[in-house]
Amino acid sequence: MISANKQIRAARYGMTIDVDRCNGCGACMVACSVENNVPPAHEGATDRKGLTWIRVYKVDNGEEYPNRRTAFVPVMCQHCGNETPCVHVCPQQAVDVDPSTGVVGEMPQRCLGCRYCMAACPYHARYFNWWDPAWPAGMEKTLNPGVTPRMRGVVEKCNLCHGRWHAAKEQAAAAGKPDTEPVSYVPACVEACPTGAIHFGDLNDASSATAKEAAEPDSFRLLEKLNTQPKIYYRSKKDWVRGIAAAPRPGGAGKENSRG
Amino acid sequence: MASPPRPVRAAPERKTPVDNPLDNMDRHFIARGAVRCSTPKFLLWMAPWAALLVFGLYSAALCLIKGLNQTNMDNRFAFGLWIFLDLTVIALGAGAFFTGFLLYILKLDELRSVINSAVVIGLVCYSGAVCVLAVDVGQPLRAWFTFWYPNVHSMLTEVTFCISCYLTVLAIEYVPIVLRNRKLRQVPSFLVFEFELHKLIYVLAGVGTFLSFFHQGSLGGLYGVLRGRPFAFREGLAVWPSTFFLFIISAAAVGPSFILLTTWLVQKITRKRLVRPEVLQLLGRISGSLLAVYVLAKSIDTLIWINRTSPETGFQAWQYYSWKPFGTWILVAEIGVCGLLPALMLLAPKLRRRTGWLVSGAFLACAGVALNRFVLTVQTLALPTLSFDRFLSYTPSWQETGTFLAVVAYGVLVYSFSFRYFQLFPQERELKLEARQVEEERELVGRY
């Protein structure tokens, strides 16, 4: 239990993703889906209608062989820290920012399914349940009991493994520790990444590895000029990779493909 | 000595199909002095629209029962044909509030001859939009959540509140039109109720204008506040982006044009004179004046957006127009061909006096607003924001198209029904008598 006079310090949970380390294996996507009870793709679902809280984009430098270079960019909810675009558009307060962690949360039970938040998100990181969630026979036994599956007609997205965070809080409370101590859990994608490309931590804690990495000169955020101040930082030593953070190339010039 | 005038030959009596019991019953509901087609002919006109409505309702039912997977919308194209339809019909239906405002608040009495028609058009447009919205959301049964947990910062909350309230106002405004029906007037309590209700019309017009200003504006604000979509994002005054004001002006501009267009169309279809040409010209003049203001405001807004708003967010405006087929032609079409041109056509008195020019101007104005709503809905979502994302296209599914057509069919059915049984154009009878008088005078002149 937190004592009454204990100063609660707001955390700012965030991630750093080393693009140079990511090999596009998709383990983060699978781990995320398993952890968060994201149902398998429905028959007839396309890459534009499927559900995945992380989408790994394949990008290249636009050159031809032998100068062609490729990289993979995992994109999930960027947990914008400034005037979060999806929060202020939701008509029924189904999206909020947790002031104690900075995590942008989604309440599927309250979502109307108007999809205005999806239109508002510049990172295309929000997904709609176009079908009723369904798991193949027997597979429902693998569902995570700590996470509620979402129903048809609502929007969902990455919440930095809210279920794990909740479990960590309960453990801390059981051990008599304040629940505001530095991050004591890691999201599933961080755990599953075979190359250790994704790091998670409190960006407000200057001593954390994540905060230090985010402050490195090779780190960048997507569409920084929009001033949404995302809490997901990307890192790369390659100039052309850092260049992808800017606005899109004009039509016809870009040859990028996406994969997810 | 002048010879005594010969007795005037009585006008040939119109054959009343008294033999048809359905017709016989039906004609008691038709306004006194108004001539309407026979019941079978009317039913024949309604049948294809009813069939289209049934098809549309089936499409909508599929979307409600099986889910929005029946549409071609997706995670990127979160909005599609239906939102475009909603924005467009609500703009076109703005004639109801604006005509009411001009008539009851600004006392522009000439517009009394189209106010009933404007109310029906408004009701059709707004109720159609609300029905489509109910299909468009993933969880329609949760619509009341917006009233229970309203996010006061969301433009969509403002839209929901204002549209719900204004639809109620329109329904109340429609009641006196219904109660003035020839048969219903025979019930004394209806007559009293209608009379009492009519006393409220000034209040309703004021409330309707207030609500409409806000929801037309907040519909524009829906896009203008999207700071994550630099193509749509606009700066503005206080919490309102410029699109808030542009939507109000554009809706007020095309509302009268749409009334002009529908009145002209009804006159053509029924082959009757329903309003004096001066009324249509007045509607054209009002529309033209507001359209000119809109074009000016839109041009200034576009220049600010190109030179300041968009570059500040890291996007050069020319980049948006490099994705085909959304080239700069769309900007020229929106502001020039469907903005400035109809404004000039409707403002020039000489052109306005010619029906062809007047109607073409009104049509172009309506098309311009539809194009503006299309651009904000479809182009905004088609354009990628991430540098490694693709430009996407979207084609509505037949279920989406069917639901869209259901609204059109519903509109035609309600309007046709109202036109037949209620007095949508009070000048109709007067014009008919005038025409008969002229005919008789001509006949007399011919004889002597």
For residue A120, give the nearest of B216, B97, B76, B433 by alpha carbon: B76
Say if the Cβ atoms of A119 and B142 lie within 8 Å.
no
> Which residues have C-beta within 8 Å of that of residue B236, sequence separation ≥ 6?
B224, B242, B243, B244, B245
pLDDT reading at A205 higher than 70: yes
Q: List CB contacts (< 8 A) between A120 and chain B.
A: 226, 228-229
In this complex, which of A45, A110, A248 lies closest to B319 when CB atoms are compared?
A248
CATH number for the domain that contains residue A44: 3.30.70.20
3-class DSSP state of A220: strand
Confidence (pLDDT) at B181: 85
> Which residues have C-beta within 8 Å of that of residue A103, sequence separation ≥ 6?
A13, A79, A97, A159, A160, A162, A165
Q: Could you tell me if residue A48 is inside a domain?
A: yes
Q: List CB contacts (< 8 A) between B226 and chain A.
A: 85, 89, 119-120
Residue of chain B nearest A115, judged by CA positions: B78
ipTM of predicted complex: 0.88
Say if the Cβ atoms of B67 and A120 lie within 8 Å.
no
Say if the Cβ atoms of B226 and A129 lie within 8 Å.
no
Confidence (pLDDT) at A15: 96
Q: What global pTM score does this model have?
A: 0.89
Residue of chain A nearest B133, judged by CA positions: A114
Find residues 157-196 of chain A whose CB sits inside 8 Å of chain B: none
Find residues 215-254 of chain B whose CB sits inside 8 Å of chain A: 222, 225-230
- The domain of A123 spans 13-245
Alpha-carbon distance of A53 to A38, in angstroms, equals: 8
Q: List CB contacts (< 8 A) between A156 and chain B.
A: none
Say if the Cβ atoms of B138 and A111 lie within 8 Å.
yes
pLDDT reading at B356 higher than 50: yes
Residue of chain B nearest A229, judged by CA positions: B228
Confidence (pLDDT) at B439: 82
Q: Could you tell me if residue A7 is inside a domain?
A: no
Mutate to test the interface with A, among B133, B144, B154, B157 (most CBs of A within 10 A): B154
Alpha-carbon distance of B115 to A211, in angstroms, equals: 65
Query: A-B interface: how many C-beta pairs under 8 angstroms?
Result: 194
pLDDT digits (tens, 9 = 90+) for B227-263: 999 999 998 887 889 999 999 999 999 999 999 999 9
pLDDT digits (tens, 9 = 90+) for A78-128: 999 988 999 999 999 999 999 989 999 999 999 999 999 999 999 999 999
Question: How much of chain B is helix, strand and coil, in % rounded to 5?
Answer: 70, 0, 25
| Helix runs in chain A, H state only | 27-35, 85-89, 116-120, 162-174, 188-192, 209-214, 239-242
Q: List CB contacts (< 8 A) between B139 and chain A.
A: 111-113, 151, 153-154
Give, in order, the Cα–Cα distances in Å from A10 to each of A103, A202, B130, B341.
11, 10, 42, 57
Say if the Cβ atoms of B228 and A122 lie within 8 Å.
yes
pLDDT digits (tens, 9 = 90+) for B66-79: 999 999 999 999 99
Confidence (pLDDT) at B433: 84
> Which residues have C-beta within 8 Å of that of residue B126, sequence separation ≥ 6?
B89, B90, B93, B96, B163, B166, B167, B170
Backbone angles phi, psi at B273, to 5 degrees: -90, 120
Alpha-carbon distance of B140 to B145, in angstroms, equals: 10
pLDDT reading at B7 higher than 70: no
Find residues 91-120 of chain A whose CB sits inside 8 Å of chain B: 91-94, 110-116, 118-120
Q: Which amino acid, residue A51?
A: L
Dihedral (Cα; A163, A164, A169, A174), 10-degree rounding: 100
> Which residues have C-beta within 8 Å of that of residue A243, sequence separation ≥ 6?
B387
pLDDT digits (tens, 9 = 90+) for B189-202: 888 888 888 788 88
Question: Of A9-23, A93-107, A168-182, B15-29, where does mean pLDDT reach its minimum?
Answer: B15-29
For residue B233, the distance in angstroms to the closest alpha carbon of chain A comes to: 10
B65 has a chain A CB within 8 A of its CB: no
- A171 vs B245, more confident: B245
Alpha-carbon distance of B442 to B286, in angstroms, equals: 36
Backbone angles phi, psi at B51, to 5 degrees: -65, -40
Instruction: Please compute Rg for chain B using Cα positions.
Output: 24
**Cross-strand bridge partners of residue A235:** A18, A219
pLDDT reading at A5 higher than 70: no
Count of positions (residues) in chain B: 448
Residue B258 CA neighbour count, 13 Å, CB half: 31
Q: List CB contacts (< 8 A) between B376 and chain A.
A: none
> Which residues have C-beta within 8 Å of that of residue B292, sequence separation ≥ 6?
B340, B343, B347
Tokens of B96: 């109801």
Backbone angles phi, psi at B237, to 5 degrees: -105, 130
Tokens of B437: 């008088």
- A85 vs A183, more confident: A85
For residue B348, the distance in angstroms to the closest alpha carbon of chain A comes to: 41
Say if the Cβ atoms of B150 and A93 lie within 8 Å.
yes
Alpha-carbon distance of B390 to B385, in angstroms, equals: 9
Find residues 21-50 of chain A whose CB sits inside 8 Å of chain B: 42, 44-46, 48-50
A243 has a chain B CB within 8 A of its CB: yes
Q: Could you tell me if residue A183 is inside a domain?
A: yes
In chain B, what is the straight-line distance between the N-terminal and C-terminal CA atoms, in Å? 15
Find residues 54-73 of chain A whose CB sits inside 8 Å of chain B: 57, 59, 73
Q: Could you tell me if residue A2 is inside a domain?
A: no
What pLDDT band is residue B203 in, cutting at 50, 70 and 90?
confident
Alpha-carbon distance of B302 to B318, in angstroms, equals: 12
What pLDDT band is residue B204 in, cutting at 50, 70 and 90?
confident
Mean pLDDT of A174-198: 86
Q: How many domains does chain A have?
A: 1
Q: List CB contacts (< 8 A) between B146 and chain A.
A: 91-92, 112
Say if the Cβ atoms of B142 and A226 lie within 8 Å.
no
- Which helix H or strand E contains B92, and what residues bound it? helix B81-92
pLDDT digits (tens, 9 = 90+) for B8-42: 555 555 555 556 676 777 788 888 778 888 889 99
Average per-residue pLDDT for chain B: 89
Q: Could you tell me if residue A94 is inside a domain?
A: yes
